Every structure is written in structure tokens, then in C-alpha cells.
Amino acid sequence: MNDKEKRVAELNKLLHEYGHAYYVLDKPIVTDAEYDRLLQELIALEKENPEFIYPDSPTQRVGGKPLEGFQKVTHTYSMLSLSNAFNEEELRDFDRKIRQAIGSDYSYVCELKIDGLAISLKYENGVFVQGATRGDGTVGEDITMNLKTIRSIPLRLKEPVTIEVRGEAYMPKKSFENLNIVREENGEEPFANPRNAAAGSLRQLDPKVAASRNLSTFIYAIGGDGESYGIDSHAEMLDYLQTIGFPSNKERQLCATIDDVLAFINKWTEERPNLPYEIDGIVVKVNRYAHQDELGFTAKSPRWAIAYKFPAEEVTTKVLDIELTV
């Protein structure tokens, strides 16, 4: 390897590490200025020597020309949906059914339900090769070009594994507010909520637009069963996904009983306004895969998971109160 090639390899390694620390772990190692200086150096070296461009170089995140349209993608494993619970009684029913089926020696994992767009990411030998929307659960749209622009999506994993993962793409609240200020200044229709803004951004045919929207992701499942990775619980799976380079939401918690689940839900019902992103509920999953296998699936969703949904925004009742007090 000549000196230039060595420097390109070194810059790829450094920028991958710095990018992961900043966008995935939310723990920057270098200043933005230092990161940009190194990125500009790599862009210049790649321009002089295109043969040195790595497919997963950070300079390759914002792809080429706009697409004509999106291709269809059939998911290797269908992206299942979650059944819903709207109150404590329905959650206790869910718990009762599980206890009847598998006895009482089980625990739950509770996760925040991010209010974004469900996505599926495919990696071959550790390299990001395809990303798609959920679609109808079986067939989605190929939005690889747009997903590559999301800095929290690793272009190369820390292990050369072939894996398909599921997660949520979302727009942080701050980015949503800033985007709508700009849209209103430009006389454009503001987005109604961050979820619509994220969906609208990922439906763009020009990746440069998606790249400008400051989207992020949390990964919460693998496609298919986890046993094939020698992992026997959902909590361990989330830790594994994190170690190989995926962003995993840190607010997850192991809950031994449904009362602990209810306490977690109460905590996040209070804390929700202070989160930097929107959530529309709490996902509750039986933790051990052996138990998940015993419980199985209905036609469209697992029997071992449920989404507790927060009540719809109370803004309507506030209006009602004002009318009533007049």
C-alpha cells in the first residue's frame, strides 16, 4: 500500500470510529470541526484517487442522482405487527394469558415505542446492502439510498455478520421544529408531526433531501429467530445488536412482573415530554426466546409482545374544558 492508500484506510477507520461514537453512542470523541477536517481530507484524497474509495466510506452516504421511483422488496422474514393494549386491565389480561400458557417463571423487557417509521436493514458480511420500509409487512419499498444518509445507521458492522434487523427511523423533536420553521419561511406546508416528517423525508427520491433532514434510528429486533445467533433472550439480543454497532434505545428495562411493567409505563408517561424524540407507547415483550417459541404467533403478531398505547393527545379535552367553563 502506498502512503496515500494508507492514509485513506486510516481516515476510513478514524471516521467510522468517530461517527459511531457521535451518532450511535451519542458520546463524541472529537469536535465537529476535527471530524469535518478529516472528512474533507478523505473527500480530497478520494477525488484524486477514485480507485481508493471504499463502498462503506463515510463519503458514500449521500448517493448519486435522484431515483425515478422505489423498487419493491420482499422481506426475508415478514415484519410482524404488535397487538395493542390501552389500559391496565388489558395489560393484566395479556399477563394472565401468558401465565396460563407458560407458568409464572418469566420476565418482560419494556422498550419505548418510538413514533417513527418501521424499517428493515439487511447486512451481508457486515456491510449494509439494503434498507426497506415495512410496507404491508411482507413487501416494502427499497429506500437504501435514503437510509444510507442516516448517520446512526452503520455502513459496516463491527463483525462481518449477515443479518437482517428491524427498527424505527425517526426525526428528533428539535429537528422537526427547525424543519417546520424553514418550511413556513419558504411558504411550504409544515409537517403535522415528526412521524409524518420522517416518512416524508424517506419517501424523497433525491437522497440529498433525506440527508438534510437529520433523521435517526433505533434498532429493536432481528428478522427471524434469535437462537441462530446463540442468544436465548431478547435483552441479550439488544445488547448484541449494540456491540456490533447498531443504535439501541438505552431506556429499555427488564421487568420481573406486570406490576414492574405498569411502574415503567407510569414513569415514561411522566417523562415523555422530556424525551428528545416522540414516543406513542411502551412495547412489552416476554424476554426468553424459549418462552416466545412456546407462545408463538397469531396470523399477524406475536403472542409474546404487546404495545401499550398512550391515550391520544389531551389537547381536545383542554378545548372542551374551556368551552364548558365559559
Binding site for ligand 3B9 (CB under 6 A): 77, 79-80, 82, 111, 113, 166, 168, 220-221, 223-225, 283, 302, 305
d(CA 62, CA 156): 15
> In the bound complex, what is the minimum distance in angstroms from residue 185's beta carbon to ligand 3B9?
33
Among the options 65, 113, 174, 309, which is catalytic?
113
Residue 211 or 286 having the CB closest to ligand 3B9: 286
Residue 219 or 258 having the CB closest to ligand 3B9: 219
Residue 155 or 262 having the CB closest to ligand 3B9: 262
DSSP-derived 3-state class of residue 219: strand
CB 241 within 8 A of CB 218: no
The grid coordinates of residue 13 equal 477507520
DSSP state, residue 122:
E
> In the bound complex, what is the minimum distance in angstroms from residue 6's beta carbon to ligand 3B9?
42
* Angle at CA of residue 94, ends 91 and 97, nearest 5°: 150
d(CA 81, CA 184): 35
Residue 160 or 296 having the CB closest to ligand 3B9: 296
Which stretches of 150-304 are assigned E, i.e. beta strand? 163-170, 216-222, 253-255, 279-286
Strands 216-222 and 72-74, bridge-based pairing: unpaired
Query: Is there a catalytic annotation at residue 113?
Result: yes
Residue corresponding to grid cell 485513506:
8
Residue 66 or 224 having the CB closest to ligand 3B9: 224
> In the bound complex, what is the minimum distance in angstroms from residue 186's beta carbon to ligand 3B9?
32
d(CA 269, CA 282): 9
> In the bound complex, what is the minimum distance in angstroms from residue 80's beta carbon to ligand 3B9?
4
Angstrom distances, CA of residue 99 to CA of 104, 254, 315, 322? 5, 17, 38, 45
> In the bound complex, what is the minimum distance in angstroms from residue 156's beta carbon to ligand 3B9?
24
* Residues involved in catalysis: 113
